[in-house]
Amino acid sequence: MSDCGNKCPMDKRCPKKLTTHPESWCDLAVLRLKALRNADHELSEEEEALLPGCPWAVNHQLSNYCFFKYMAQYTPDKPLSEMEIAALNHISVETVKKTEKTALSKVRNSQQFLEIKDEYGEEKVVEDAKSSHEDYKIYR
């Protein structure tokens, strides 16, 4: 965790154009999280884009609900679990799994991956796991 407090420079994508991380709850982030919480179903990407508030809101009170502050000060040393990712982004674990699988598919079809695959021959570098506990395996 970073010790820069609220004095870290803010990301330029902040809708409020803050120069440093928020010192109290971000009202735009809270507005977005309330809208997500009050939705009667899990929203599609298109539906969520129409919601009011900050699209960078994250469900983490200590970071004042600011994604950029969360990333700068509260990102853990080990990767987050699917459950933690779902809670932070106010989505279901199933959506996290679907998003991971879509991302892996895009990686497999990317030119960079195909070049790596060609370099190592026929062996797949990233492949679906046989175990239900793993979403992917990496071979070297």
pTM of model > 0.95: no
Question: Other CB atoms closer than 10 Å to residue 58's CB: what's the count?
Answer: 24
- The pLDDT value given to residue 133: 47
Convert 13-72 into a string of H (helix), E (strand) and C (coil).
CCCCCCCECCCCCCHHHHHHHHHHHHCCCCCCHHHHHCCCCCCCECCCHHHCCEHHHHHH
- pLDDT tens for the 140 residues of the chain, in order: 555 656 778 999 999 999 999 999 999 999 999 999 999 998 888 999 999 999 999 999 999 999 999 999 998 889 999 999 999 998 889 999 999 999 999 988 888 877 776 555 555 555 544 444 455 555 55
Q: Sign of torsion, CA 31 36 38 43?
A: positive
Beta bridge partners of 66: 57
- The pLDDT value given to residue 109: 86
- The pLDDT value given to residue 93: 92
- The pLDDT value given to residue 131: 44
Question: Other CB atoms closer than 10 Å to residue 82's CB: what's the count?
Answer: 17
Give the three-state DSSP class for 12.
Answer: coil
